[in-house]
Amino acid sequence: MAYLVLALTAWMLLSASTALRPGRRGVFAALAYPVGWAAGELPAQAIVIEAALVGLLWWWGWPRTHWLGFVVILLAGIVVLENVVLVAISFYSRHIVRRAMAKNPRRPLAIPRPRDDHFGTWWRTALQIPFHPRDMQLIHDVAYGPARRNRLDIWRLSTTPKNAPVIFYIHGGAWTFGNKREQGRPMLHEFVKRGWVVVACNYRLAPRDPWPAQIEDVTRTLGWIKKYIANYGGDPDQVVVSGGSAGGHLAALLALSADNPTWRPKDVEGVADWSVRGCISLYGVLETTGDEEHWHGLGRGLRILLEGRVVKRTFEENEELYRQMSPMHQIHVDAPPFLVIQGGNDTLVDVHVARRFVDEFSRRALARVYYVELPFTQHAFDLTASPRTSATTRAAVAFALSVTSPRPSLSPALVAQYQAPPTELLVEVSSGEWVPALAAAGELGPFAVVSADNPFSRVLGAEANGLRRDELSGVLQRHGVRAVHTIAHDLSGRWPDEQGFALLGQSHEFASALAQAFEQFAFYDVSEHAVLVCASQDGEVLV
Instruction: List, by residue number, the catalytic residues.
Output: 245, 346, 379
**Orientation of helix 26-41 relative to helix 66-102, angle to 10°:** 70
- DSSP state string for 61-110: ---SSHHHHHHHHHHHHHHHHHHHHHHHHHHHHHHHHHHHHHT-SSS--P
Helices 185-193 and 387-404: angle between axes, nearest 10 degrees: 50
- Under a CB-based contact definition with an 8 Å cutoff, are residues 299 and 287 in contact? no
Spatial distance between the Cα atoms of 45 and 62, rounded to a whole number of angstroms: 24
Q: Give me the amino acid identity at 487.
A: I
Q: Nearest-CA neighbor of 243 among 168, 324, 331?
A: 168
Query: Residues near 463 by Cβ (< 8 Å), separated by ≥ 6?
Result: none
- 281: closest CA among 125, 172, 164? 172
| Segment (H or E) for 477 | helix 462-478
Q: 412-423 as b/e, with b when 16 or more CB fall inside 10 Å? A: eeeeebbebeeb
C-alpha span between 166 and 193 (Å, rounded) = 13
Distance CA 217, CA 215 (A): 5
Q: How far apart are CA 129 and CA 535, in angstroms?
A: 48
Q: Let me know: does 137 contact 232? Beta carbons within 8 Å.
A: no
Contact of 408 with 414, CB cutoff 8 Å: no
